[in-house]
């Protein structure tokens, strides 16, 4: 049976992080305030009142972190750029000192033989733009495109491929609908324009990047949706959930239209946000790749609360991560096959841009190794069944600031002692390093 050792030659191995989760140094070199700086100050918003002020201090310790990546033998490193280091208020000329940091990082990665894969937006919107309405405002999409151009002008000579947005679904739902993440708004279904404006921002930024000869990807959090039973009400609920979580993002990108959201009482213009020509900007020309962030499947039943057309049902009988998330590697196979069936030839090559788990923090993390092995086996099966998956970036290289959970969820191949900033590779680091080396040895021409 196909497993992770059978991944195709040229398959790319990576690890991911994000700016606010690792960099710290929030006041360094003219960085402006982001919505996460503000949100972390809100009493009760983040576990134990923690914040990303220091995080892994990657801003100063990036050299050591690149050495850890080199030790793994990574092909690529996915990180994000803090918009507020580049444009402290989200508009206008570049803050050269902020861009210098990414310039140093990119050169350091290249010197270590690692391809930089930057994400332009991983949830840390400039507070100045949030004060004007954030992603609920159409104007933010245009500001994002301007920022993309500024960054690409500086780094585009060395960075071939770019991810515009990270998980616009999670940012919309957690940030604007439920208020669990920054900016902490609780708009429920009225948050839908935040999805459209992010996608419009993607389309406009993609044009800036492509105009400079660069490849464009977008990373979404996707989940295979399973109905709790074959009963028509459960199946209809599962379809409604699938439309909101998955299709709301992949349909406009790949098919140039929004899915049917009538179960939510919402029309195809998403509360009037969609204007003529927007979908053409969002969908074309083709993406160089689709980034898939996969953590777990979702089981959905008919609604119990009249406010929403679905209810989440538990997934029993499987292991759970420290976060409590169900571990279902087969869900990744299911997701990849569904994408191929759903989008056929319009589906660009896929890169798994995040996958991983939180553990109790121990250095001997067999739980993580098993998690990664299971998911890579599922990924290999999907490639054997014809899905074009080009690479895998595990979440995460380092333990880091896990948003509303503070430092309580540890996702790293490398343990970080947040008092001393000491990095210690876990057992899973060695395991991943050996897997990469074995794959490379097997793929090398004889
Ligand atoms: C996000 C990461 C986050 C990870 C684990 C993803 O939703 O992109 O920033 O740390 O999941 O929760």
The C-alpha R_g of the chain, in whole angstroms, comes to 21
Of 94-108, 234-248, 279-293, which gets the smallest average pLDDT? 279-293
Q: Quick one: pLDDT at residue 226? A: 98
- Please tell me what DSSP assigns to residue 164: E
Note the pLDDT tens digit of each residue in 210-228: 999 999 999 999 999 999 9
Q: How far apart are CA 174 and CA 184, in angstroms?
A: 8
Q: The tokens 């957690």 sit on which residue?
A: 174
Best substitution site from 403, 408, 409, 410 to test ligand 1's pocket, by max atoms within 8 Å of Cβ?
A: 403
pLDDT of residue 356: 99
For 343-361, how does the pLDDT look when each residue is reduced to its tens digit (9 = 90+)?
999 999 999 999 999 999 9
Which of the residues are catalytic? 167, 354
Take residue 8 and report the two structure tokens written for it.
Answer: 């195709």
Angle at CA of residue 170, ends 168 and 173, nearest 5°: 105
Domains, the chain, in order of start with CATH, read: 4-443 (3.20.20.80)
Q: b/e string for 200-217 if b means 16 or more Cβ within 10 A?
A: bbbbbbbbbbbeeebbbb
Predicted pLDDT at 444: 84
Helix axes 248-255, 192-211, angle to 10 degrees: 40
Taking each continuous run of H as one helix and of E as one strand, the counts in the chain are: 15, 13
Q: Is residue 284's pLDDT more than 80?
A: no
Contact 355, 375 (CB under 8 A): yes
- Say whether pLDDT at 445 is over 80: no
pLDDT of residue 335: 99
User: Which residue CA neighbors atom 3 of ligand 1 most closely?
Assistant: 402
Is the shortest distance between the CB of 353 and ligand 1 below 6 Å? no
The rounded Å distance from CA 295 to ligand 1 centre is 9
Q: What is the DSSP string of 67-102?
A: HHHHHHT-SEEEEE--HHHHSTTSSSS--HHHHHHH
pLDDT of residue 446: 65
Burial 403-417 (b: 16+ CB within 10 A, else e): bbbbbebbbbbbbbe
Residue 5: which pLDDT band, with cuts at 50, 70 and 90?
A: very high
Residue 306: pLDDT band with limits 50, 70, 90: confident
DSSP assignments along 249-284, one per residue? HHHHHHHSS----GGGT--TTTTTT--TTHHHHHH-
**What is d(CA 193, CA 189) in angstroms, rounded to the nearest whole number?**
9
| pTM of this prediction exceeds 0.95 | yes
Q: What's the mean pLDDT in 8-31?
A: 98
3-state secondary structure 174-206: HHHHCCCCCCCCCCHHHHHHHHHHHHHHHHHHH
Q: What is the pLDDT of residue 285?
A: 74
Q: For residues 335 and 246, is the Cβ–Cβ distance under 8 A? A: no
Mutate which of 249, 371, 395, 403 for ligand 1? The one with the most ligand atoms within 8 Å of its CB, which is 395
Gap from CA of 17 to ligand 1 centroid (Å): 9
Phi, psi of 270 (to 5 degrees): 45, 65
Distance 165 CA to ligand 1 centre (A): 13
Six-digit token pair at 289? 């790749």
Query: How many whole angstroms separate alpha carbon 291 and alpha carbon 298?
Result: 19
Q: Cis peptide before 183, with omega less than 30 degrees from 0?
A: yes
């Amino acid at each position: 049976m196909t497993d992770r050792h059978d991944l195709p030659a040229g398959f790319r191995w990576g690890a991911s992080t994000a700016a606010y989760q690792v960099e710290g140094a929030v006041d360094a070199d003219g960085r402006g305030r982001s919505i996460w700086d503000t949100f972390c100050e809100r009493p009760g918003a983040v576990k134990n009142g923690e914040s990303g002020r220091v995080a892994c201090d990657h801003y100063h310790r990036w050299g050591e972190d690149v050495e850890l990546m080199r030790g793994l033998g990574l092909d690529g490193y996915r990180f994000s750029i803090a918009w507020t280091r580049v444009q402290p208020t989200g508009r206008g000329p570049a803050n050269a000192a902020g861009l210098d940091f990414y310039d140093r990082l990119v050169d350091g990665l290249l010197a270590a033989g690692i391809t930089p894969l930057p994400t332009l937006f991983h949830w840390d919107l400039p507070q100045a733009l949030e004060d004007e309405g954030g992603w609920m405002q159409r104007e933010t999409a245009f500001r994002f495109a301007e920022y993309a151009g500024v960054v690409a002008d500086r780094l585009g000579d060395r960075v071939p491929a770019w991810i515009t947005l990270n998980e616009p679904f999670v940012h919309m739902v957690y940030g604007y609908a439920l208020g669990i993440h920054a900016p902490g708004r609780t708009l429920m279904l009225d948050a839908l324009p935040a999805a459209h404006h992010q996608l419009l921002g993607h389309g406009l930024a993609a044009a800036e990047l492509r105009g400079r000869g660069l490849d464009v990807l977008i990373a979404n959090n996707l989940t295979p949706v399973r109905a709790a039973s074959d009963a028509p009400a459960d199946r209809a609920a599962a379809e409604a959930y699938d439309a909101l979580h998955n299709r709301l993002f992949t349909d406009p990108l790949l098919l140039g239209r929004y899915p049917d959201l009538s179960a939510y009482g919402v029309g195809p213009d998403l509360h009037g946000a969609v204007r003529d020509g927007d979908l053409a900007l969002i969908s074309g020309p083709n993406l160089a790749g689709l980034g898939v962030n996969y953590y777990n499947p979702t089981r959905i039943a008919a609604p119990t609360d009249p406010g929403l057309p679905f209810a989440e049902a538990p997934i029993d009988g499987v292991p759970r991560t420290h976060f409590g998330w169900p571990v279902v590697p087969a869900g990744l196979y299911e997701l990849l096959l569904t994408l191929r069936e759903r989008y056929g030839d319009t589906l660009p090559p896929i890169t798994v841009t995040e996958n991983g788990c939180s553990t109790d923090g121990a250095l001997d993390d067999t739980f993580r190794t098993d998690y990664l092995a299971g998911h890579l086996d599922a990924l290999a099966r999907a490639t054997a069944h014809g899905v074009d998956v080009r690479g895998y970036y595990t979440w995460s290289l380092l333990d880091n600031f896990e948003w509303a959970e503070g430092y309580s969820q540890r996702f790293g191949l490398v343990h970080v002692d947040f008092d001393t900033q000491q990095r210690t590779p876990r057992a899973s680091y060695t395991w991943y390093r050996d897997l990469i080396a074995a794959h490379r040895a097997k793929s090398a021409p004889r």
